[in-house]
Homo-oligomer: A and B are copies of this chain.
Amino acid sequence: MALIVQKYGGTSVGDLNRIRNVARRVVKTCQEGNEVVVVVSAIAGETDRLIQLATQVSDNPDLREYDALISTGEQVSGALLAITLHAMGYPARSFLGPQVRIVTDNTFSKARIQKVEIKRLQKELKAGRIPIVAGFQGVDKDGNITTLGRGGSDTTGVALAAALSADVCEIYTDVEGVYTTDPNICPDARKLARITYDEMLELASLGAKVLQIRSVEFAKKYNVPIHVRSSFSEKRGTLVTKEDEKMEKVLVSGVTYNKNEARITVVRVPDKPGTASRVFTPISDANIIVDMIIQNSSAEGYTDLTFTVPKADFKKALKLVKKTAEEIKAQEVLADENIAKVSIVGAGMVSHAGVASKMFTALAKENINILMISTSEIKISCVVEAKYGELAARVLHQTFGLDKGELRKEP
């Protein structure tokens, strides 16, 4: 008997028929002799509807109230799934973040999980009931409702799997797994049977919207295997696990593409200790996530500082940076929303030379100019003009042979 956490995304519970479909899947898993804990997202579109209500009454809604508002979506889908399971003869009970006690900090709208209590869930499992947990939400130490940010239900699922020492956390979504690149951009994209946490982290943070990045961090930290799969298919999806010897080290396992960032450059910053800190502290205080940061080598005591932020936070970030630039007597601030970031990711990269130059050469052949470069152990990212983004992704997908051959088949 295995203990399985199943997390169903918004499209998987998209309407009452799909909720019935989910109920049947849950029942089947139970009938196969497993214990199941279910985590649900809100019905597709519901969270957006609630966010729209909030923004209609205020441009800048109070975040405590925003969380109280948007957390209702998961409460609705959880209760509906429980009612459906009851009607099928299976005792189920829905629980909210505060009822399980999924304790978070109090960064409303982007809270982080600090502790997961499992007593209540274990009691339900012992009593033969199926616990259904509302994803995306928690409670701070003062009893306020918090939410975990977009895709937070993934993190709820993995955090519960970790706390319960579950055998696997199944993440049900509307795609069949993790692909070598976005199939909408590159029709040759293929499903990966396995992928490492680190590769997935790079893929997730680079825009492959399959999993919330924090859920992968959690999974890696507590070594929880994640099985990403479709709720509309019986096929196996992609297993996200730690690297093991059986896993073939492919040079590049995925190409990602992201046009949701904007670039800000602070020109001629006096090059002295503490400058970077003065630029980035106000941005980080505003809870804006900075992605790439590049500082060119200094000339005549001055340097240029370039970085990217999510487009959604672009205006806010620009305002903060302009203020700082004035204070530190930088020459000017340049901004560019018209960019795309293309990256290649692969655990095999660590031990191979020549991957970067192969990437740059392939882009050059297509006359694509590279605006920024940033690298990590297992990824290389290039920022290019937005109009070349999709072409760049396709070219790289082909260059690294992701469009053919076998890719880490399930043993």
What CA separation (Å) do A98 and B144 show in the bound complex?
11
The contact sample of 11 A-B pairs, CB cut-off 8 A, is A53-B80, A54-B80, A57-B83, A58-B86, A62-B82, A62-B86, A64-B82, A64-B93, A69-B83, A72-B76, A75-B75
Question: Can you name the residue of chain B whose Cβ is closest to the Cβ of A43?
Answer: B53
Question: Can you name the residue of chain B whose Cβ is closest to the Cβ of A69?
Answer: B79
User: Does B57 contact A19, Cβ atoms closer than 8 Å?
Assistant: yes
User: Does A16 contact B65, Cβ atoms closer than 8 Å?
Assistant: no
User: Does A79 contact B94, Cβ atoms closer than 8 Å?
Assistant: no
Min CB–CB distance A10 → chain B (angstroms) = 16
Interface size for A (C-beta < 8 A) is 39
User: Does B54 contact A83, Cβ atoms closer than 8 Å?
Assistant: yes
Min CB–CB distance A298 → chain B (angstroms) = 46
Mask of A216-251 contacts with B, CB within 8 angstroms, 1/0: 000000000000000000000000000000000000
For residues 31 through 87 of chain A, which have their beta carbon under 8 Å from a beta carbon of chain B? 50, 53-54, 56-62, 64-66, 68-69, 71-72, 75-76, 78-80, 82-84, 86-87
The interface residues of chain B lying within 8 Å CB-to-CB of A20 are 57
Known pairs A72-B75, A79-B66; A57 contacts B87 (CB<8 A): yes
Which residues of A are interface residues toward B (Cβ below 8 A)? 16, 19-20, 50, 53-54, 56-62, 64-66, 68-69, 71-72, 75-76, 78-80, 82-84, 86-87, 92-94, 96, 98-99, 143-145
Min CB–CB distance A15 → chain B (angstroms) = 10
Known pairs A65-B94, A80-B69; A16 contacts B87 (CB<8 A): no
Known pairs A76-B50, A99-B143, A143-B99; A84 contacts B57 (CB<8 A): yes
What CA separation (Å) do A251 and B98 show in the bound complex?
53
Task: Specify which of B68, B84, B143 is in contact with A75 (CB 8 Å cutoff).
Answer: B68
Known A61-B86, A65-B79, A69-B83; further 7 A-B contacts with Cβ < 8 A: A19-B57, A53-B80, A57-B87, A58-B83, A68-B94, A69-B75, A98-B98
User: Does A62 contact B50, Cβ atoms closer than 8 Å?
Assistant: no
Min CB–CB distance A307 → chain B (angstroms) = 32
The interface residues of chain B lying within 8 Å CB-to-CB of A65 are 79-80, 82-83, 86, 92-94
Task: Specify which of B16, B92, B94, B145 is in contact with A53 (CB 8 Å cutoff).
Answer: B16
Min CB–CB distance A358 → chain B (angstroms) = 52
What CA separation (Å) do A120 and B203 show in the bound complex?
45
What CA separation (Å) do A72 and B60 show in the bound complex?
23
The interface residues of chain B lying within 8 Å CB-to-CB of A68 are 75, 78-79, 82, 94, 96
Closest 4 CB pairs of A and B: A69-B79, A58-B87, A62-B86, A72-B72
What CA separation (Å) do A82 and B58 show in the bound complex?
10
What CA separation (Å) do A78 and B53 show in the bound complex?
12
Min CB–CB distance A243 → chain B (angstroms) = 41
What CA separation (Å) do A399 and B177 show in the bound complex?
76
Question: Can you name the residue of chain B whose Cβ is closest to the Cβ of A120?
Answer: B143
What CA separation (Å) do A138 and B53 show in the bound complex?
25
Min CB–CB distance A350 → chain B (angstroms) = 48
The interface residues of chain B lying within 8 Å CB-to-CB of A79 are 54, 65-66, 68-69
Known pairs A16-B56, A94-B68, A143-B99; A61 contacts B83 (CB<8 A): yes
What CA separation (Å) do A83 and B61 show in the bound complex?
6
Min CB–CB distance A203 → chain B (angstroms) = 34
What CA separation (Å) do A344 and B56 show in the bound complex?
47
Question: Can you name the residue of chain B whose Cβ is closest to the Cβ of A100?
Answer: B143
Min CB–CB distance A164 → chain B (angstroms) = 19
Question: Can you name the residue of chain B whose Cβ is closest to the Cβ of A101?
Answer: B143
Min CB–CB distance A20 → chain B (angstroms) = 7
What CA separation (Å) do A83 and B55 show in the bound complex?
9
The interface residues of chain B lying within 8 Å CB-to-CB of A53 are 16, 76, 80
What CA separation (Å) do A226 and B75 show in the bound complex?
33
